[in-house]
Amino acid sequence: MVSKVKITVVKRLSNKDIFADKPPLDFTATPICDRLQDGQEFVIDSPDFPQGFCPWAYADLQRDIIHLRLGGDFPWMKEKGTLLSCCTDGVRPVIFKLERIED
């Protein structure tokens, strides 16, 4: 059986949180992700891309989402069916909580 997965935006990190005033490279992006908001939730119930979600982040999370949807767990997480994961934006990453929804 394939489960649903809830994605919650836990925290958007500012590049100042990571680099203070000394980033290793110059960039033109806004200092914090402007596609998502802290606390925002999305439920995945199909292989389709969730409307309103960041495509870059979805590409990073997709493997973990599929693992959870198919009943997999992550042994380093105390709560089964959950994971903290993040997008690979090195300038302004976002941390997500993934939770399998058992029907």
Domain positions in the chain are: 4-39+52-95
Collect the ranges in the chain with pLDDT lower than 50.
none
pLDDT of residue 24: 79
pLDDT digits (tens, 9 = 90+) for 39-48: 999 999 988 8
C-alpha distance from residue 13 to each of 1, 40, 41, 43 (Å): 35, 15, 17, 22
- Could you tell me which residues come within 8 angstroms of residue 96 by beta carbon, excluding any fewer than 6 positions away? 7, 8, 9, 10, 57, 61, 84, 85, 86, 87
pLDDT of residue 98: 98
pLDDT of residue 48: 85
User: pTM above 0.85?
Assistant: yes
pLDDT of residue 31: 83
pLDDT of residue 5: 97
